[in-house]
Amino acid sequence: MGDGMRSPRAGCFDAVAALVALSVLTWAGCQSGDIAPLPLDPGSSRDVPAVDAASDAPDAIERPDAIPGDAPPTFDIGPDHPQVPDDAPTPADAFPGDTPPTDAATGPDDLGTPDASIDCGSGGEPFDYRCNVLDPSTCPGGVCALAWCLDPDLDPDRWKACGDGVCDPCEGICEVDCLRLPYRPTRPDPLNPDTLTLYVHGFEMYGAAELDTMVFGRDEGCGLLRHGRPYGLDRPCSGTPEGDAAPNQLTSVEYYGRIPADWMSQADIDDIEALPIAAETALARYALIVARFIRHKFAATGATQANIVCHSMGCLITRYIIEHDIERLASQSRIPRLITLAGALGGSRLAALYDNPDLISLVGRLGLDFADFVLLQPDLITDRWVTWDHRRFEGNHPYYGGIQIHHLGGTQPKLEEALNIAVLDVMNPEDLANDGVLYLDDTYFHAMAPQARYRAIDGTLLSSTRTLLHLEHNQIKRDGPPAMITAAALLGSRRVILTLAELELFRDRESGGLFDGENGQSPAEVAPEIEVRFDPFVSQDLGQPSTAHVDRVDHRGAPIVTLATGKTLKPGLVLFSGPVFDAMDRFHVAIDLIEVDWYPRRGIREWAVNANRPLVSDARAVALQDGTYSFQNEYARAVIRVDVVRMH
C-alpha cells in the first residue's frame, strides 16, 4: 500500500506478504476508432442532472441556478473572508467550553463530551476501542488483539442525528452541529506559481528494528511525481541543486521512523513525540509530520501553497490534515489541489478482516507494526477520525470548499506482487469492486455537501471527480495512465463530465420464449461500459499511453439502470468525470450499453451462461464543449451529455 520504490527492504513486500497470509488464513478459517470530432448539439440548459444512487459516482455538478434561493450554502468561502495570518492566535470562542484545545495536531477531542451533571444513559458512553482479552464484553462481536478491539459490532445508526443542526451533549463529538469553525478560508489560488507539489505515500509494514533507523520528516525527493514529467509536469525535484530552493518543486516526505529530520526544531520534535506510534495516536502523528514538513518547505523555499498527491493510507492522513486543520493549512487556504490514488479515504475493510489469531501471531513474529492496521478500521475512522459529521464516505467539511479534488481508483483485484491472487475476493460476498487491497467504495467521496464543493468560474458547484483504471493497488502509483491523470489534474484548468442523459429502449433483449435466443426477464437491466482515451493529444503529441478511464461490467464498477421496452428514461448517470489537459480540444470515447442478466455486484442473477448482451455501441472523438450527442440501433437510443467546467 506504500511506495515500493523507496527502499529495497521497504514494507511493500512485507505488506503483500501479509495480505497473502491474510487471504490464505482467512480462507482456511472459514474500442477504438479514429473518427473525426462530432459537433455537439448545444445544450439547452446548464443544469446537470442528479446522479442515480446506483452509479457509485460522485454527486453531479450543480450549476449556479441549481441551488434553491432559500437554502444557500451555510458556509461562505468567498472573498469576503480574509486568509488567516500565520501568527494568528486561535480564538478562545472557537470551540465549546472554557478552554480551546492546546494541541492543534489532535483536534478538539473533548468536543461534545457530556458534562458530568447530564445523564446521557448508556448512549453517552463513546466506544473507545480499548479492550480486555479476558472480558469479551469490552469488545462486543469483535476480536480483542493487543488490547485493541477489532471489528466490533456497533450501532450503525449511532451518528444518525449528527448533522441535524442540534448540538446534543449526549451525541458525542459532532462538529457540524457543535463547532463554530475558527476561520473561514478563501479559495487558494490555483495559478499561484509559488506552489509546491507533495506526494504522501501509503501504508508500509516495517519491523521495530527498521523503524528505529528511519528518519521521520525526511525529504524523499520527487517520489512517484517524477512519472508526470512525460506528461508536462516539468518541475524541479527537491533534493537536487536546482530543486531545493524552488517554490514550485516536486517533493515527498517520510512519516515513518523514530529519528527526527535535521530541519526539525526541538519544539517540532516534542510535539510529534507527544503522539506515539500507537493505534490511538499514529494517524495524528503522521498528519503532524506531513503538515510540519509542508510548513518547513514554505519557509525554506518561499512557497505559499502545496498541492497534495497521495496514495492509499497517505490519503487518509491528508484527509485528517484538512478536516482537523493541522498547521492551519486548510483554514489558511494553502491546499489548491488534492489528487488521491487508490486513497484509503474511508479506511480499509481489509483492516476489519484482521481478526485471525494465526495471522496476528504471524505478524507479531515478523516484528511488523500493528498500529496502522488498527487505524484503518472503518468503524474507528467513522467514530474517531471523521468527526465533522461521521460520514465516512462523504467529504462534507467546509474546508474542502476551495480545493480541486480528483480521485483515481483501481478495479484489478489480482495483486501482481501476490502471485496474482485476488486477495479481497476471498471474503467478498457482495462481489465489490476492488484493487486487491482496497474496496473501490472506500477510495472516493460518494457525496459532498454544497459548502464543500468547488465553486468554478461560472458558479458551478463541483463535487470531487473520479476516474477508474483496471489496475491493482500498487500499479496505480506507477507511470503511464495514472501519471497522466495526475498531471492533468495538476496542470489542467477544466473538468469534463459525461452523463447518460437519456435512454430509450426499442427491444429489451430479454427472453420472450424458449427459442428466441435471449435470456433473462423483463424489464431490462442496462449497464454502460465506457473507455476514455486522451487521443489524439497524449498519444500523438506527447507519444505516451493515453487511457484515462475504463469501467466495465466484469470490473464490477459499472452502474445499472432498469427500464422496459418502449420506455424512455433520463437516468443522469455520470459515465466519466475528470480533468483534461488545456491543449486538448477533443478526446476519444467508446461506450457500450449492455443488457445484463448476470451481475452479482448489482444483485442481478437471472442467467449465468452467455448472460450479458450488447444493446447499442458508439465510438467517436468527442469535442470538449458543452452539448449532447446521440446514437442508436434497433435495440436502443442513447443521448450523452457533455459538460466542460472551467475551474479557474
Confidence band (pLDDT; 50, 70, 90) for 308?
A: very high
What's the pLDDT at 61? 62
Task: In whole angstroms, give the CA distance from residue 5 to residue 9.
Answer: 10
Please give the mean pLDDT across all residues of the chain: 82
- Compute, in degrees rounded to 10, the torsion defined by CA atoms 245, 248, 252, 255: 80
What's the pLDDT at 7? 39
Phi, psi of 324 (to 5 degrees): -105, 5
CB 473, CB 438: distance < 8 Å: yes
* Confidence check: pLDDT of 355 > 80: no
CB 200, CB 309: distance < 8 Å: yes
What's the pLDDT at 608? 84
| DSSP letter (8 states) at residue 149 | E
- Compute, in degrees rounded to 10, the torsion defined by CA atoms 111, 115, 120, 125: 50
* Confidence check: pLDDT of 18 > 80: no
The more confident residue out of 50 and 606 is 606
Third-level CATH fold of 53-70+496-646:
Immunoglobulin-like (2.60.40)
Task: In whole angstroms, give the CA distance from residue 138 to residue 135.
Answer: 6
What's the pLDDT at 181? 84
Average pLDDT over residues 333-350: 93
What's the pLDDT at 304? 97
* Confidence check: pLDDT of 525 > 80: yes
* Confidence check: pLDDT of 78 > 50: no
What's the pLDDT at 440? 96
And the C-alpha cell for 93? 470562542
Which of 141-150, 340-349, 471-480 has the least mean pLDDT?
141-150
* Strand pairing class (215-216; 259-260): parallel
Residues 90-135: pLDDT tens digits?
333 332 222 233 333 333 344 445 455 566 765 556 788 889 989 9
Q: What CATH number does the domain located at 181-490 have?
A: 3.40.50.1820
Residue carrying the nine cell digits 429489451: 508
Considering only the C-alpha atoms of the chain, give the largest distance between any 2 of them, rounded to a whole number of Å: 80
Average pLDDT over residues 542-569: 96
Alpha carbon distances (Å) from 601 to 126, 160, 349, 553: 34, 27, 17, 9
Which of 24-38, 276-290, 411-425 has the least mean pLDDT?
24-38
Rounded to an integer, what is the distance from CA 625 to the centroid of its chain? 27
Task: In whole angstroms, give the CA distance from residue 245 to residue 561.
Answer: 53
What's the pLDDT at 57? 46
- Return contacts of 230-236, CB within 8 angstroms, 24+ apart: 230/479, 230/483, 230/542, 230/544, 231/483, 231/484, 231/487, 231/488, 231/491, 231/538, 231/542, 231/544, 231/581, 232/487, 232/491, 232/542, 232/581, 233/197, 233/483, 233/486, 233/487, 233/490, 233/491, 235/197
Task: In whole angstroms, give the CA distance from residue 466 to residue 444.
Answer: 8
What's the pLDDT at 60? 54
Residue 301 burial (CB count, 10 A): 19
And the C-alpha cell for 395? 467529504
Residues 470-502: pLDDT tens digits?
999 999 998 899 999 999 999 999 999 999 999
Residues 173-228: pLDDT tens digits?
999 999 888 766 678 999 999 999 999 999 887 878 889 999 999 999 999 999 99
* Confidence check: pLDDT of 1 > 80: no
List Cβ neighbours of 170 (8 Å cut-off, separation of 6 or more): 114, 118, 120, 121, 123, 124
Which runs of consecutive H residues, i.e. helices, occur in 330-428? 349-352, 357-365, 371-375, 378-380
Task: In whole angstroms, give the CA distance from residue 379 to residue 375.
Answer: 10
What's the pLDDT at 426? 79
Strand partners, 578: 496
Task: In whole angstroms, give the CA distance from residue 102 to residue 68.
Answer: 40
What's the pLDDT at 116? 52
* Confidence check: pLDDT of 370 > 90: no
What's the pLDDT at 571? 95
* Confidence check: pLDDT of 66 > 70: no
The ranges assigned to domains in the chain are: 53-70+496-646, 181-490
And the C-alpha cell for 543? 507519444
